[in-house]
Chains A and B, each alone.
Chain A
Amino acid sequence: MKRSLLVLLVAAMMTISSFGSASAGKIVLGVPGAHSGDLASYGLPTVEAAKLVVKAINESGGVNGEQVVLSLQDDQCKPEFATNAAMKLLSDQVNVVLGHICSGPTKAALPIYKESNLVCMSPSATSPSLTLSGDYPNFFRTIASDDAQGALAAMFAVEKLGLKKPAIIHDKGDYGKGFAEYTMKYLKEKGVEPVLFEGVTPGAVDYSAVVQKIKASGADGVIFGGYHPEASKVVSQMRKKKMTIPFLSDDGVKAQTFIDIAGKAAEGVYATGPQDITGNPMYAVALKQYKDSHYGAEPGAFYFEAYSAALALLKAIEYAKSTDYDKIVDALRNNEVETPVGKIKFDAKGDAIGVGFSVYQVKDGQYVEVK
């Protein structure tokens, strides 16, 4: 008897609290993501970014005169929890969603938001299909997708390096092979057919046989997908065999350690890497806000992307002067916002225009951006 009374009381309290958070005259920003579990380090910086942006906006009078409140939902980066988190956000009557963090949960939750006409913007889900498939017109992101790097590499290889017969080598891993495959796809779109597409075994004793093969194939450049230990082995053995053709790789190779290991062979190597955002005025603002409120600590993963997404979402509502789905989407696509990742708006697929990768080249033991 007593226990059922307790259950009733708890249920009543929960009902009241969920009504409370969705009170009228407020804009609710949903923040689903990994807030606990082994991937929490990817999700929690987004919560911090959302809190800081909302605090700043509320202090300067809110959005269209209305205060912004947050609704946090934990999905632990697991698709099965993501749908629960999405349902909970709907019951909280959120106006826009900042999340999810991982690509899998994002894909699981998106149909739910789509049915309820909710805009969802992720700071970190990089799976290309989220935007490329066209299935989710309500999805946006402030991070470049995995295929953007391949597209850039292909563009650079064909237009700047003038490669006609590139050889593509990868390390058989998810990341390296993915980059290699996207690059090949975009090369083919440009009418360039790779002469070689092969994986090497990471950690193998030496790669001279595959280097001979590249040589025999008559390739005029090598595009490598993978991380720096393998890249430095391949490029060193190429240079030892007096092969001077260009070597182009990904952001797994755009690291100082690559130059330290490959030494002289690293000179002249091209690698794509995230665009330098440290020069943006909003970057300094976002960094200072975080440091001021966290005793000088450095922000974690995707903080600046999340900060940008929160700003873009709330500014879009302000610009649209409404929380109507169509108007927000219009504002996101047509209205530029100043954010830490640059001055951005979104293309028809949902990717941020102006966010992405640049090509770097090793010059005198340092990566220098190729203009």
Chain B
Amino acid sequence: MEYFLELFFSGLTRGSIYALIALGYTMVYGIIELINFAHGEIYMIGAFVGLVVAGILTSFGFPAASIVVLASIAAIIYAAAYGYTIEKIAYRPLRGAPRLSPLISAIGMSIFLQNYVMLSQTSDFLSFPSLIPEFNFLGKYESMVGSSDFVIIVVAAVVMVALNLFIKFTRMGKAMRATAQNRKMAMLVGINVDQVISATFVIGSALAAVGGVLIASHIGQINFFIGFIAGIKAFTAAVLGGIGSVPGAMLGGLILGWTESFCTGYVSSDYEDVFAFALLVLILIFRPSGLLGKAPIQKV
């Protein structure tokens, strides 16, 4: 039972990270039906900003807890700026173009950002300081949920609740839902669609940056390529839950995390990806729009 719980929480940590990144994919897809392949790189850039800011603050002797907060805020601002700019220069000019063009533009942006960070920083792995202070609140069950696992799970949960409330109750949230439903109609009733799309990118990027700082601090190393695999996994989570659906991204992230964790624990980590993607295929066969996704409405 203890082993099961250990794997459960290990999958929960991993799944929370996937969910945080998957939200960006799913929100952007929900609004403009674009798969933003540069999203994983935003996560990576968030982690790099976190590293730089944490390094500077540490050298000035800030206390550990304030470093986590300040580094995360800096990463959020920086990543949000990146998200906004990417949308502006790589996707907005292609808004009326066939659907393939912004997709290729997204892949190009992803490769550009990877290489830009590789050249401006380094291609080596860098050590990321353990930002989250060690604490022990579980006594002998500490090995199940370490302090950084706990922080990741709690932050992810808080962020998700906040995002849901934001989408449900704020003006911008309503505008987002309206734009997602029908962009032209939203425009006709006076919603500034460009602003809504920018806001989507900014929010998605900010969430990815939080994920980036947290996971980098959890595993203690980053390099320019970490966004690729995390991005693919998060994208898978978004599709699993039903791309376009915010609760779906969260559910998809958690299910993917648990699948990988239990598969590693009870079968073999050799087959981790095999099981994760076999699950994806199975779900898409029986529910082509994902777990919580809606079947596309035929617009007439």
Query: Is B270 in contact with A233, judged by CB distance below 8 angstroms?
Result: no
User: Among B14, B143, B220, which residue has its beta carbon within 8 angstroms of that of A205?
Assistant: B14
A296: Cβ under 8 A from any B Cβ: no
Query: Is A203 in contact with B226, judged by CB distance below 8 angstroms?
Result: yes
In whole angstroms, how far apart are the Cα atoms of A257 and B278 in the complex?
A: 36
A261 proximity list for chain B (CB < 8 A): 125-127, 220-221
Query: Is B264 in contact with A229, judged by CB distance below 8 angstroms?
Result: no
In whole angstroms, how far apart are the Cα atoms of A200 and B219 in the complex?
A: 15
For A242, give the chain B residue with the smallest CB separation. B143
In whole angstroms, how far apart are the Cα atoms of A201 and B223 in the complex?
A: 16
Query: Is B223 in contact with A229, judged by CB distance below 8 angstroms?
Result: yes
Contacts of A164-218 to chain B: CB distance below 8 A? 172, 198-201, 203-210, 212-213, 215-216
Quote the shortest CB–CB distance from B290 to chain A (angstroms). Answer: 21
Q: List 9 A-B contacts (CB under 8 A).
A: A205-B219, A206-B218, A207-B219, A209-B264, A212-B7, A215-B143, A216-B265, A229-B125, A242-B142
User: Among A199, A203, A228, which residue has its beta carbon within 8 angstroms of that of B229?
Assistant: A203
In whole angstroms, how far apart are the Cα atoms of A203 and B233 in the complex?
A: 11
Query: Is B260 in contact with A209, judged by CB distance below 8 angstroms?
Result: yes
Quote the shortest CB–CB distance from B11 to chain A (angstroms). Answer: 7
In whole angstroms, how far apart are the Cα atoms of A172 and B268 in the complex?
A: 12
A-B pair number, CB within 8 angstroms: 95
B7 proximity list for chain A (CB < 8 A): 209, 212
A232: Cβ under 8 A from any B Cβ: yes
A262: Cβ under 8 A from any B Cβ: yes
| Contact A209 to B221, CB < 8 A, known contacts A229-B125, A242-B143 | no
In whole angstroms, how far apart are the Cα atoms of A76 and B66 in the complex?
A: 58
Query: Is A203 in contact with B265, judged by CB distance below 8 angstroms?
Result: no
A294: Cβ under 8 A from any B Cβ: no
| SS of B interface (majority) | helix
Which of B11, B221, B233, B270 has the most chain A CB atoms inside 10 A of its CB? Answer: B221
In whole angstroms, how far apart are the Cα atoms of A209 and B261 in the complex?
A: 5
Quote the shortest CB–CB distance from A230 to chain B (angstroms). Answer: 10
Query: Is B219 in contact with A199, judged by CB distance below 8 angstroms?
Result: no
| Contact A198 to B270, CB < 8 A, known contacts A206-B14, A241-B146 | yes
Quote the shortest CB–CB distance from B291 to chain A (angstroms). Answer: 21
Contacts of B5-31 to chain A: CB distance below 8 A? 6-7, 10-11, 13-14, 17-18
Query: Is B125 in contact with A228, judged by CB distance below 8 angstroms?
Result: yes
In whole angstroms, how far apart are the Cα atoms of A198 and B267 in the complex?
A: 10
8 tightest A-B CB contacts, nearest first: A209-B264, A208-B10, A209-B261, A203-B229, A261-B127, A199-B270, A212-B6, A209-B10
B127 proximity list for chain A (CB < 8 A): 260-263
Query: Is B3 in contact with A216, judged by CB distance below 8 angstroms?
Result: yes
Binary contact readout A238-277 vs B (1 if CB under 8 angstroms, 0 otherwise): 0011100000000000000100111101000000000000
In whole angstroms, how far apart are the Cα atoms of A229 and B272 in the complex?
A: 19
Q: How large is the interface on A (under 10, 10 to 19, 20 to 34, 35 or more residues)?
A: 20 to 34
For B225, give the chain A residue with the smallest CB separation. A203
Chain A residues close to B by CB (< 8 Å): 172, 198-201, 203-210, 212-213, 215-216, 228-229, 232-233, 236-237, 240-242, 257, 260-263, 265
A237 proximity list for chain B (CB < 8 A): 219
Query: Is B3 in contact with A212, judged by CB distance below 8 angstroms?
Result: yes
User: Among B142, B143, B225, B272, which residue has its beta carbon within 8 angstroms of that of A201?
Assistant: B272
User: Among A203, A216, A228, A263, which residue has its beta carbon within 8 angstroms of that of B220?
Assistant: A263
In whole angstroms, how far apart are the Cα atoms of A229 and B229 in the complex?
A: 15
A241 proximity list for chain B (CB < 8 A): 143, 146
For B149, give the chain A residue with the smallest CB separation. A208
Binary contact readout B132-150 vs A (1 if CB under 8 angstroms, 0 otherwise): 0000000000110010110
For B17, give the chain A residue with the smallest CB separation. A205
Query: Is B6 in contact with A232, judged by CB distance below 8 angstroms?
Result: no
In whole angstroms, how far apart are the Cα atoms of A242 and B3 in the complex?
A: 16
For B148, give the chain A residue with the smallest CB separation. A240
Query: Is A205 in contact with B10, judged by CB distance below 8 angstroms?
Result: no
B228 proximity list for chain A (CB < 8 A): 203
Quote the shortest CB–CB distance from A142 to chain B (angstroms). Answer: 32
For B272, give the chain A residue with the smallest CB separation. A201
In whole angstroms, how far apart are the Cα atoms of A228 and B127 in the complex?
A: 12
User: Among B11, B219, B225, B233, which residue has its beta carbon within 8 angstroms of that of A233?
Assistant: B219
B273: Cβ under 8 A from any A Cβ: yes
| Contact A204 to B261, CB < 8 A, known contacts A172-B270, A262-B220 | no
In whole angstroms, how far apart are the Cα atoms of A212 and B9 in the complex?
A: 11
In whole angstroms, how far apart are the Cα atoms of A199 and B271 in the complex?
A: 9
For A216, give the chain B residue with the smallest CB separation. B3
Query: Is A212 in contact with B219, judged by CB distance below 8 angstroms?
Result: no
Query: Is A198 in contact with B233, judged by CB distance below 8 angstroms?
Result: no
In whole angstroms, how far apart are the Cα atoms of A215 and B7 in the complex?
A: 12
Binary contact readout B207-231 vs A (1 if CB under 8 angstroms, 0 otherwise): 0000000010011110101101110
Quote the shortest CB–CB distance from A243 to chain B (angstroms). Answer: 9
In whole angstroms, how far apart are the Cα atoms of A361 and B269 in the complex?
A: 28
B273 proximity list for chain A (CB < 8 A): 201
Additional pairs, 12, CB under 8 Å, beyond known A172-B270, A261-B221: A199-B269, A200-B269, A205-B18, A208-B14, A212-B143, A232-B125, A232-B220, A233-B219, A236-B219, A236-B220, A262-B220, A263-B127
